A = this chain, B = another copy of it.
Amino acid sequence: MDLGRWTALLRADAANLTSRETQIRDAAWIARCVGRGAAAPLGPQDVAGLAERITPAEFRKDELLFGAGAGDRPGVWIVRSGHVELGVATSRGRVVVGVLRPGDVEGDLPLLLGIPVPYSARAMDDVVCLYLSPTDFESLLARHPAVARRWLSSVAQRLATSHGRLISLLGRPLVAQVAGLLLDESDQGTVRLPQRTLAAMLGVARPSLNKVLKDLERRSLVALGYGSIQLLDDDGLRRVRNA
């Protein structure tokens, strides 16, 4: 998906389309992203229910979306364009829990469970989000069973990913962890994150990560660039991950 074009469209919409039309298009987009591949399809009335509740929100690079320092604004955020970093400040420096890409959802768990988010979200570039207030989210789930069903798939998907991440971290050599992370975070064969961030995602020191990456480059599995990594041999990386 061409993110630049999406963003441009969003900007144009603000001027050329009615607010209602924009909302419906955004709602349909959410319907495609949340609970992808779930059995239950959403009806037109479900999409309409979504549309009348979402409001767009823009953030500039390095702005905080929620969490410590941003007033802990409750509600559901769906990333429309851009990237968002979920991080925790620990005694041993910053740890990155995850990176949100367009289509990813955050903020629903705290609402569902009534607990605060343990991390804070920072815009890694200019970001456009769609926002659902806590009450809107609650009524959406209550009145639209199909949406609740899809949301269930979405959360289940994230849980499966988290489990996979746990397995790939538990006592495995760093090369295997790195190979797994690159495969998970790649977008069209490229990972557009600085090594500093990747290291924080694995909770390791940057020099250690760099050593491993150079090793993978020597084995022609990846190509290192400035702020980006190209995956050259996915199957080879998978072998390293499972070794």
Chain A: residues with CB nearer than 8 A to chain B?
A: 37-40, 88, 90-92, 95, 97, 108-109, 112-115, 118-119, 138, 141-142, 145, 148-149, 151-153, 155-160, 162-167, 169-172, 202-204, 242-243
The quantity of this chain's copies bound in the complex is 2
Q: Which residues on the B side are within 8 Å of A40 (C-beta)?
A: 142
Q: Is the CB of A97 within 8 A of B163?
A: yes
- Partner of A152 from the list B114, B151, B164, B204 (CB cut-off 8 Å) is B151
A-B contact pairs, 13 of them (CB 8 A): A95-B167, A97-B163, A109-B159, A113-B153, A113-B156, A118-B164, A141-B149, A148-B149, A151-B152, A162-B163, A162-B166, A170-B202, A171-B203
Known: A91-B242, A148-B148, A152-B152. A169 touches B203 (CB 8 A): yes
Q: Is the CB of B118 within 8 A of A172?
A: no
Q: Which residues on the B side are within 8 Å of A142 (C-beta)?
A: 40, 149
Q: Is the CB of B170 within 8 A of A95?
A: yes
Q: Interface centre among A108, A112, A162, A204, by most B CB within 10 Å?
A: A112
Q: Is the CB of B155 within 8 A of A159?
A: yes
Known: A97-B167, A167-B118, A204-B171. A160 touches B92 (CB 8 A): no
Closest to A152 in B: B152
A20 to B240, CA, bound (A): 53
Q: Is the CB of A162 within 8 A of B159?
A: yes
Q: Which residues on the B side are within 8 Å of A118 (C-beta)?
A: 163-164, 167
Known: A141-B152, A148-B152. A166 touches B97 (CB 8 A): yes
Q: How many whole Å from A56's CB to the nearest CB in chain B?
A: 25
Interface contacts beyond A90-B167, A170-B202: sample of 18 additional A-B pairs, CB < 8 Å, sorted by A: A37-B113, A90-B172, A91-B243, A92-B171, A97-B166, A109-B160, A112-B156, A113-B156, A113-B160, A118-B163, A141-B149, A145-B145, A152-B155, A159-B162, A162-B163, A162-B166, A165-B166, A169-B169
